[in-house]
Structure 1
Amino acid sequence: MTGSDPLPPRHACAGQPLLGLTLLLVEDSRLASEGVRLLATRSGARLRRADSLASAERHLRAWRPSAALVDLHLPDGSGLDLLARLAAVRPRIPAIVAISGDPALEAAARDAGADTFLTKPVLSLSQFQRALLGHLPADPPVPLSSDCVRPDPAALHDDLAMAQALIHRAGRQAYVAAFLRGVARTAGDIPLSDAAEDLATHPGDRAALVRLTRMIEGRLDAVPAF
């Protein structure tokens, strides 16, 4: 990661308190990413997305973001490792935010170096804006929005299709279960969240695997693709 690039000048205004910022989102869920993209756009920030640790490293070798938002469950490892690396780089990225569908991971995220923690689903503009503004150089205060965003539900199709492709692969069920818990919470799908939690709690259980597989198939039939 380049370490000499200063933060660009900001000219925050009402309705766009993050104007002038560039954000790196490290998130494997298309649905969750779509929600954060809408939050960033409504707030005036530009967003780059990485869907894995490897992709994030490629971005960071050439570019220093104003802030980083890191999911903790990624297909090629733990976001905690990336949080620790970002926190150790000097000059440090001013705002390092951990995001997860599992609030029990907040302490571990902060220990790894996160400035703050957001529990999925992240849909509130004011919550998103406060999480970043609390750790950025102060600008004159501007009003924050009380609105919420609604990701395009078609993004859910991509997440379900990926889960379907991976769920029967050796060694991937734990990842898929954690991934789908976050996706289901963002989508407000309690039965899917419960089924993913069941597989996470009972890895290798045939009945839990079959139940979750059938749910994925049923939802893919009901959700439009992009």
Structure 2
Amino acid sequence: MQSVQAEFMRPRPTAERPLLGQTIMVVEDSHVASETLRLMCLRSGARIRRADSLKSAGRHLCTYRPSIAIVDMGLPDGSGADLITSLAGARHRVQVLLAISGDPASLEEAQEAGADGTLAKPLSKLATFQAEILSRLSESEQPSGPRPLPMEEIVPDPAALQDDFAHLQMLLAAPNASGTTRYAAGFALGVAQSCGDAEMVAAAEALLRACHDGLPLVPPREALLDAVRTHLAPAPA
């Protein structure tokens, strides 16, 4: 009876707010990616819960059950694939389970772990975000009537990007174990894609290859750190 009543009281989606009534858990450690997803959820009418690590996501899941989950594949305390496997096999499974990453290999791993679909970084088109979710919801949860395709591109606050660069500088400047360096390289790849820096993308990919192939990490890590410092340098007067 309670579940029927809750469904009856749930707000109905509209053409302008097609995800009204949905609760989306976003597990993402990048400030710029998290802020982009927050704005997309708000534009779409969805409620959002945010976590920046596996541990934080676990605490959230102890107190509420989202209808949709979007999980970053590279998190500071482990792989998003582990959380995806857990959510995919849960007794009360989320209706839509998506992975997000800037690394195509990670997105393939996410689908093997049980993700329903994937979102590639950088994510900016509201239409792409909505379509990936709506295509996996039941007919009863679709907005009624014709829905105009949103042409909006979401641009987060530039301060979020600067926060990510500052975090990256801290990660790369300190002596790191290979596992931490790989996390930093994956984080850097997503940030570089978000700001459209092709040289930084190449530097992050080089560090990822070095981690994967067991090659020396110092030279590619220093090259990536130099690229990060360029973004943090004060603009010339």
Instruction: Using structure 2 for the length normalisation, give the TM-score.
Output: 0.86
Higher alpha-carbon deviation: 100-109 or 15-24: 100-109
**Secondary structure of the residue that 1:90 maps to in structure 2?**
coil
Structure 1 runs of 4+ with >6 Å offset: 4-8
Distance 2:220 2:103 in 1: 20
Unaligned 5+ runs, structure 2: none
Q: CA deviation at 1:222?
A: 4.3
- The separation in 1 between residues aligned to 2:11 and 2:120, in whole angstroms, is 27
Query: Residue 153 of structure 2 aligns with which residue?
Result: 148
**Number of aligned pairs?**
220
The Cα shift of 1:106 comes to 2.9
Partner of 1:97: 98
Question: SS at the partner of 1:118?
Answer: strand
RMSD in angstroms over aligned alpha carbons?
A: 1.9
Alignment of 1:53-72 (within 5 A): 53-72=54-73
Q: Aligned equivalents of 2:11 and 2:196: distance in 1? A: 35
% of aligned pairs identical?
A: 44
| CA distance in structure 2 between the aligned counterparts of 1:102 and 1:67, rounded to whole angstroms | 22
Greater shift after overlay, 91-100 or 188-197? Answer: 188-197
Counterpart for residue 175 of structure 2:
169
TM-score, normalised via structure 1 length: 0.90
Unaligned runs of 5+ in 1: none
Instruction: Tell me whether 1:217 sits opposite 2:229 in the alignment.
Output: yes
2:219 maps to 1:207: yes
Aligned counterparts of 1:189 and 1:56: Cα–Cα separation in 2: 30
**Post-superposition CA distance 1:110-151 (Å, at most 9, x none):** 121111111111111111001111222222253331221111
1:173-219 deviations in whole A, cap 9, x for unaligned?
11111110011111211111111112222243333222211221221
Q: Which has the higher helix share?
A: 2
- Conservation of the 8 A alpha-carbon contact between 1:17 and 1:144: no
Map of 2:117 onto structure 1: 116
